């Protein structure tokens, strides 16, 4: 992976409560780490010799969106032009489930058009990621 030409962003609904925003970012980040382990750097030690886990090797801006905009981006990500991007989405369906089994059962019975996205993470070629999210503000 050419880290100089790669970009990863998270777009999260800025209208959500702070705890849901944090939860959405955490879940998408964990899933991205599973999907793209090569972007996580090696473990390091501090000057005292204490170990610290490696972190992602490039910044991940968190951008402010809303459910409608995130749904539009998600729809565009199904287009062939963007098929090589890594995508993690997180919906209200997923957020409302107590177990993974419940999530699987509900997702298998739900149309994509019925999903309301709380956030979406996109990683891949910087040019393509920018085409989808380049004009969006940071979530502050």
Helix, strand or coil for residue 58? Answer: coil
Q: Determine the structural domain holding residue 59 and report its residue range.
A: 3-133
Domain annotation covers residue 140: no
Sign, Cα dihedral of 128, 134, 139, 140 = positive
pLDDT at 9: 97
Q: What is the pLDDT of residues 64-79, one digit of tens each?
A: 999 999 999 999 999 9
Looking up residue 99, the CATH number of its domain turns out to be 3.40.1490.10
- Among 89, 65, 69, 86, residue whose Cα is nearest residue 129: 86
pLDDT at 5: 86
Domain annotation covers residue 79: yes
pLDDT at 58: 85
Give pairs for 19-22: CB < 8 Å, separation 24+: 20/95, 20/118, 21/119, 21/139
Q: How far apart are CA 129 and CA 123, in angstroms?
A: 7
Domain annotation covers residue 113: yes
Domain annotation covers residue 127: yes
Q: How far apart are CA 74 and CA 89, in angstroms?
A: 8
Domain annotation covers residue 123: yes
pLDDT at 57: 86
Domain annotation covers residue 115: yes
Q: Number of structural domains, the chain? A: 1
Domain annotation covers residue 138: no
Q: pLDDT tens per residue, the chain (140 residues)?
A: 677 788 999 999 999 999 999 999 999 999 999 999 988 999 999 999 999 999 988 889 999 999 999 999 999 999 999 999 999 999 999 999 999 999 999 999 999 999 999 999 999 999 999 999 989 999 99
pLDDT at 59: 87
């Amino acid at each position: 992976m050419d880290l100089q030409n790669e970009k990863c962003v998270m777009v999260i609904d800025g209208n959500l409560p702070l705890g849901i925003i944090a939860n959405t970012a955490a879940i998408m980040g964990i899933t991205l780490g599973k999907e793209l382990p090569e972007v996580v750097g090696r473990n390091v030690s501090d000057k005292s010799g204490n170990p610290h886990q490696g972190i992602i090797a490039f910044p991940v801006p968190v951008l402010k969106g809303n459910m409608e905009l995130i749904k539009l981006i998600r729809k565009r990500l199904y287009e062939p032009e963007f098929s090589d991007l890594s995508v993690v989405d997180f919906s209200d369906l997923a957020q409302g489930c107590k177990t993974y089994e419940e999530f699987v059962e509900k997702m298998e019975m739900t149309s994509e058009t019925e999903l309301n996205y709380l956030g979406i993470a996109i990683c891949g070629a910087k040019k393509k990621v920018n085409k989808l999210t380049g004009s969006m503000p940071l979530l502050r």
